[in-house]
Structure 1
Amino acid sequence: MTNASPDPLDAPTAALAAAVLEIARHVGDDVMAAPRWFALANSARLLAEQPGLAALLGEESSTIMAADELQLISIELDHHEPGSAASADHADPLQALTAVEWPDMANGAVLACDLAPEQWMVRAQDTDPTAIDAAEGEEALGALRVVVGALEDGTTWSALRRAGEQQYTLGAALLPDLTAALLESLQPPQ
């Protein structure tokens, strides 16, 4: 499912990478007309703040989660909820990020979306003119599945996959503009 990443994986990055890959599996191969948003909460902190959650998870699961100070729980935001990022109903994730309102318990976030060829082809041509053969039409390129995660402390991780491919390419900031915008959305308003 993944290609090896040249980026180092310290413990916080590994926890975020695990959450990004879990979300990539969750969203599956279904076409996404609009971005999907996931808040990330620290499992141990969430269990301490919400003791009733431990009862729902069971003793064994809650004990394991409470012991791992880096484990993250992902919570998909309801796109029908007023004020949620997806309620803006933007297909452009950068535009949709301007409307995102992360819950208080979120110390990180993940964006999952499909970028149309015209949204990512220019970036590929700017960085490597030989990356896109001029004879290939946009339809041949297909959409790019993007799953980008960030934590408030600046830790980032991304998983990208072209349409029709099975494996994700992994890295700390494969789409710098989306990564920076996601990080900025996590910062408190000034």
Structure 2
Amino acid sequence: MSFVPNSTPDQPASQPVTEPLARCALETEKHVADRGWDQAPRVFALVETAELLAAEPGLRETMSVTDLVPGAITAIEQEGYARTSSIESLLGRLAWPDTVHGAAVALERVVVPPGAERDLPEDPTEAAEQLAQHPDRQDVRLLVAVHRDGRAICLLRQRAHDSDDRVAMGEDIAPGLVHALRSTLEA
């Protein structure tokens, strides 16, 4: 388990992000982006910052004043998962204790135009290789964060436009992944 340090994401002054789940998601996405591309899926437990500090008071000195606002959420990376290309398999094995208020997952995908999926080989490995070689492919990283109270946020970064100020944000960018991640919180 490793702690994702809270930091203020580089956001234009006209668009500050203050909603706790969105802020945590942006900080976590930037943390993942700092390690570059071609990463395995990464999983994070989301905990209330106040509860984390009550359990681990020594972490207080690593946080800024803005990290200590009421309702703040902190991501804690979960390590030790076997490397897998099947996010469904990974999420199907997860369950969280009540002390975890949400979860996030970061993963990379290849996106191709809709017509590129026609006439693919039936073998999944061959199909993936063919799509990976498509001239119009786009490499993207998704970070999806969900909270037990139903909130969800999705972030999308394109490799071709790899900049902190070019990260798309929305609630429905990856609805299937939101649903799958929510199911890990249902016990």
Fold equivalence (TM over 0.5): yes
Looking at structure 1, the residues matched to 176 and 141 of structure 2 have their Cα atoms a distance apart, in angstroms, of 16
Q: Which TM-score applies when normalising by structure 2?
A: 0.69
1:39-62 alpha-carbon deviations (Å, 9 max, x no partner)? 1100112333x1xx224424x959
Superposed CA RMSD: 3.0
Q: Which runs of 5+ in 1 are unaligned?
A: 4-8, 81-85, 126-136
Aligned match for 1:153, one of 149, 152, 172: 149
Structure 1's 139 and 75: CA in aligned 2 closer, same or farther, altered over 3 A? farther
Amino acid in the other structure paired with 1:179: V
Q: Which TM-score applies when normalising by structure 1?
A: 0.68
Looking at structure 2, the residues matched to 180 and 157 of structure 1 have their Cα atoms a distance apart, in angstroms, of 12
Structure 1's 162 and 70: CA in aligned 2 closer, same or farther, altered over 3 A? same
**2:57: which partner in 1?**
54
**2:76: which partner in 1?**
75
- Deviation for aligned residue 1:144: 1.5
Q: Is the 8 A contact 2:139 2:160 kept in 1?
A: no
Amino acid in the other structure paired with 1:99: R
- Deviation for aligned residue 1:37: 0.4
Looking at structure 2, the residues matched to 41 and 187 of structure 1 have their Cα atoms a distance apart, in angstroms, of 16
Looking at structure 1, the residues matched to 158 and 134 of structure 2 have their Cα atoms a distance apart, in angstroms, of 12
**2:42: which partner in 1?**
36
- Deviation for aligned residue 1:143: 1.6
How many residues are treated as equivalent by the alignment?
154
**2:139: which partner in 1?**
143
1:147-181 alpha-carbon deviations (Å, 9 max, x no partner)? 10000111000111222113111101211000011
- Deviation for aligned residue 1:142: 2.4
Q: Is the 8 A contact 1:117 1:138 kept in 2?
A: no
1:17 aligns with 2:16: no
Q: Which runs of 5+ in 2 are unaligned?
A: 1-9, 118-132
**1:132: which partner in 2?**
none
Q: Percent identity?
A: 26
Looking at structure 2, the residues matched to 63 and 20 of structure 1 have their Cα atoms a distance apart, in angstroms, of 18
Amino acid in the other structure paired with 1:40: L
**1:130: which partner in 2?**
none
1:177 aligns with 2:176: yes
Structure 1's 142 and 2: CA in aligned 2 closer, same or farther, altered over 3 A? farther
Q: Is the 8 A contact 1:38 1:74 kept in 2?
A: yes
Structure 1's 2 and 176: CA in aligned 2 closer, same or farther, altered over 3 A? farther
Q: Is the 8 A contact 1:54 1:62 kept in 2?
A: no
Q: Is the 8 A contact 1:2 1:169 kept in 2?
A: no
**1:98: which partner in 2?**
92
